[in-house]
Structures are given as structure tokens and as C-alpha cells.
């Protein structure tokens, strides 16, 4: 009988701990992507970032100048400063980076 009581207490403690862990674990990252038109203002090849003067993306982002981390390419290989471009913006819980930088047609 004593062993059954000890086993029950241990089982209840394990269940309580697992529920606590589940409720305190942060939510999984949610990523949104959308196209954005902008003009290249400047770049920092050492940090692989690019400063863009972007147009408003309705419902997502206002028009502004901002530095973006560049992924999938090197900042030095982008079109010249002053070039209008179309990029893909990746928004991961409010942190932004860009990919697919192409001259605007």
C-alpha cells in the first residue's frame, strides 16, 4: 500500500511539472512574407545589411528608411545605391530580414 501511495504521488508530480512546462514554453515563431518596393540607399557589406527607403506596404508596414539584414545574397553584389528594387520581406515576430532583391521593372 505504501508503494502505491508513493508511485501515485510521483505520477501526480510528473504530470503537474509537465503541464507547467507546456504553459511557460514560448509560442513557435510565426513568419509572414510579402513583397515590398524600395530604393537602395546604402549598404554595409561587413554586416551584410542594406538600408532601404521603402514604400508603404498596406496593412503591413508604413513607408520608411530602415536597415535590413540581407539573406541569400551579399550586400556588395546588389544593384547600385539609388536603384529601385523589389524585395521579399520576412517578418518573424516583428524581426525583419529581406531576400530576393531584384531591380524594379
Coil, helix or strand for 104?
A: coil
* pLDDT tens readout for residues 24-60: 445 567 899 999 999 999 999 999 999 999 999 998 8
Task: Please check the confidence at residue 15 and state whether its pLDDT lies above 80.
Answer: no
- For 50, residues 6+ apart whose C-beta sits below 8 A from its C-beta are 40, 42, 43, 44, 67, 68, 70, 75, 78, 98, 101
How far CA 17 is from CA of 11, 20, 34, in Å, comes to 10, 5, 40
Q: How many residues does the chain have?
A: 105
Q: Which domains does the chain have, with CATH numbers?
A: 31-103 (2.40.50.320)
Global confidence as pTM: 0.71
Q: Which three cell numbers stand for residue 53?
A: 527607403
Amino acid at each position: 500500500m505504501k508503494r502505491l501511495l508513493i508511485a501515485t504521488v510521483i505520477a501526480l508530480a510528473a504530470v503537474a511539472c509537465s503541464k507547467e512546462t507546456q504553459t511557460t514554453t514560448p509560442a513557435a515563431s510565426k513568419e509572414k512574407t510579402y513583397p515590398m518596393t524600395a530604393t537602395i540607399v546604402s549598404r554595409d557589406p561587413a554586416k551584410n545589411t542594406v538600408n532601404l527607403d521603402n514604400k508603404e506596404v498596406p496593412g503591413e508596414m508604413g513607408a520608411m528608411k530602415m536597415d535590413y539584414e540581407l539573406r541569400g545574397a551579399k550586400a556588395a553584389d546588389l544593384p547600385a545605391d539609388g536603384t529601385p528594387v523589389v524585395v521579399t520581406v520576412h517578418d518573424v515576430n516583428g524581426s525583419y530580414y529581406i531576400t530576393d532583391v531584384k531591380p524594379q521593372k
